[in-house]
Amino acid sequence: MNLTTRILRSRKEKRLSQQALADLIGVSRSALAQWETEMSSPSLENLRKMAELLEVSFEWIATGRGNQYLTSPVDTICDTKVDDEIIRTLNRMNLKKKRAILNVMKAMA
């Protein structure tokens, strides 16, 4: 599996649009589209951000080696309805608000 496939697969597993992931990383949608179509490659810093946001290992997304998923704490609960609502709400926000929310989320993690 090549880098573009790993990026696309991980983004779709998280049910994020190109625009939503691009906004979270801090790049344009067209930049992300180019990464997913082998027209260009993300910087290491953008790969690191992407791995963190998509909750996959940096080694896996960058090279295809190792485990795709990070081990999660036993008490982590997946609530798809809540996740979907968060994503829908984020998609309606402008970039400034999304960055503010991301900073709050990072502070809480």
Tokens at 60, concatenated: 């896996």
Give tens-digit pLDDT for 8-20: 999 999 999 999 9
d(CA 61, CA 63): 6
d(CA 21, CA 74): 26
Contacts of 38 (CB under 8 A, 6+ apart): 2, 4
% of the chain residues with pLDDT over 90? 63
DSSP 56: B
One-letter amino acid of 21? L
Mean pLDDT of the chain, nearest integer: 88
What was the pLDDT predicted at 74? Answer: 44
One-letter amino acid of 71? T
Query: Is the model's pLDDT at 21 over the cut of 90?
Result: yes
Contacts of 88 (CB under 8 A, 6+ apart): none
How large is the average pLDDT for residues 70-77? 54
3-state DSSP assignment of residue 23: helix
